[in-house]
Chain A
């Protein structure tokens, strides 16, 4: 176990950092505020989603109003409405279609209520995803999770672009090598095995080695030495 020389640390704090101290403190405060705000948003979206199941039909209007506010807020934050609209159309078609198929016109109103509730279940989640940065949400989660799994989650998010790029690169290179995995060739399920064999398999090998090396380098920086970890104050 390494012990840092605390004397040196103290000296440094007093001299070099004095003028910047207030700026840093502000930054730390801001990080904390953001974190609390994001936790609140997560809790709020969960409660709101749940209440879409539980609220009585005559009170559904209030819920609609709250959700409408969220919709406006998200829209002001320049969220993309397309996925929500797509979901709405798809849900309406399927549910109302099934109701009409089984019962004809008479229970159409019931079907509309059901669709509304489903949308109200989904909307807070969509609002959360489009207004809170993934960085903030992962920060909140990592405070709740055990250290190791928090590290796994944050690392996974960090390597996500790399994994995505790696997947694309390997796909392209195998296409160029003549593999039958072009979108057209994949219409035929027989070629799915080729996709698994020459894209997914090398990718898994990459992931195995990536996880080994990252684990190695994290442990080299004393990740496995103690069970309690502190957190870097700036986000």
Chain B
């Protein structure tokens, strides 16, 4: 049975260019479709168009079968979880359909059981891990008993554990006859369940055969290679510590540090001394919620909820102490943008620190952003905003660059630009720490800091001859 069909669909953007032209897609019951494409090609909009066609002014034909019930999971769990407990969250949709209060309970339990969340109904949503939150969002849709689930880019935000759990739930759904459409640029984790794979290019969908494209999963390739390196390098820990020459240009050292987060439950320990030297690129890896961001906050002096010794450029960290010597890019860096143009955005820090304004154009050229210099940063795509924020930190040429999850949401177009900029930066003596919820880019790293079971340990990474 055909649930949903797009026939010769065209959609114009506000600047009258076409986002889609001659777009065709047919989804039958029980099928799993996966749609890939570059950032900004309209993947997310396509899901919304499928779910709520009457909110768009499109040409062509979109047919919904009368039996079709759609469940839609967008990217950010923050904006989709609206209640405080998991029971109330799943029941939100039922409240809106005026289901009597007592009838809600079995429906809610049933939906939670489908996604494998066997927790008490009054468990606060804030206590869940990101992967659990994601499954809660699924349950909140499953309570409508949909026969088509639309899912937007789960891979980028979930750690490997979360992805495994999600795959399990999706497989169960497919077996129960529910159709699934996933929009995702890294298709590798889902290959087993995908029936049809599509590439969204220049406004139309093209069918892709199953072999993964070499250029397409840059990140996952690196991730696989690190796993290999890991096994070889675990017994080489603490390699550099005795080296006097290395210690002399030590930029950052953490010894015997214990971090206590605001909620006072989990802590992160660093029992040994870990350090960062000029020219190093360090990857900080650990699952969602293991304390990567918290560690960055201690290092830059934003918070001081730690015991032990942190020494950054020879001083105890304090906000504002390091000026232009420290660059820090937070998660979702697009939120730091405020100036009228991209160029002004970069020049802001340069002016405040009294650095040459020419740095701005230099970095913009390096990152291929010069054509956007006079555009408003808020009219750019997400990936471009991300890059502008990155440029604005890079252009002050700090001694240490800290990047919290810098590759989230970056696709293959922007990814190599950032990598090259980082290489260039470290070759000129800058030190970099970047974090990610899965090990990536081993070929680039001088060492990696792994967080496992609340312990941070330093591992050397064997450089691959590349």
Contacts and interface: CB of A to CB of B under 8 A. Distances in A.
| A and B directly contacting (CB within 8 A) | yes
Interface in B130-180: 140-141, 144-145
Interface in B400-418: none
Interface in B322-338: 323-324, 326-328, 330, 335-338
Interface of A (DSSP majority class): helix
Interface string A172-184: 1111111110100
* From A159, A210, A228, A233, residue with most partner B Cβ within 10 Å: A233
Contacts of A34: none
Contacts of B234: none
B78 A162 contact: yes
A157 B126 CA distance: 13
Nearest to B80: A217
Contact of A234 (B80, B85, B100, B393): B85
A72 to B, nearest CB: 29
Nearest to A202: B338
Nearest to A225: B96
A235 B85 CA distance: 8
B326 A198 contact: no
B302 A218 contact: no
A86 interface: no
A172 B319 contact: yes
Interface string A23-48: 01001000000000000000000000
Interface of B: 51-52, 69, 72, 74, 76, 78-80, 82-85, 87-88, 91-107, 109-110, 121-122, 140-141, 144-145, 300, 302, 319-320, 323-324, 326-328, 330, 335-338, 348-349, 352-353, 378, 392-393, 396
Interface of A: 1-2, 4-5, 9, 12-13, 16-17, 24, 27, 135, 151, 154-155, 158-159, 162, 166, 169-170, 172-180, 182, 197-198, 201-202, 205-206, 210, 213-214, 216-218, 220-223, 225-226, 228-235
Closest 9 CB pairs of A and B: A178-B352, A213-B79, A12-B106, A232-B91, A233-B101, A221-B93, A222-B96, A217-B80, A172-B302
11 contacts: A12-B109, A17-B109, A24-B105, A155-B82, A158-B84, A176-B327, A201-B338, A214-B82, A217-B80, A230-B101, A233-B102
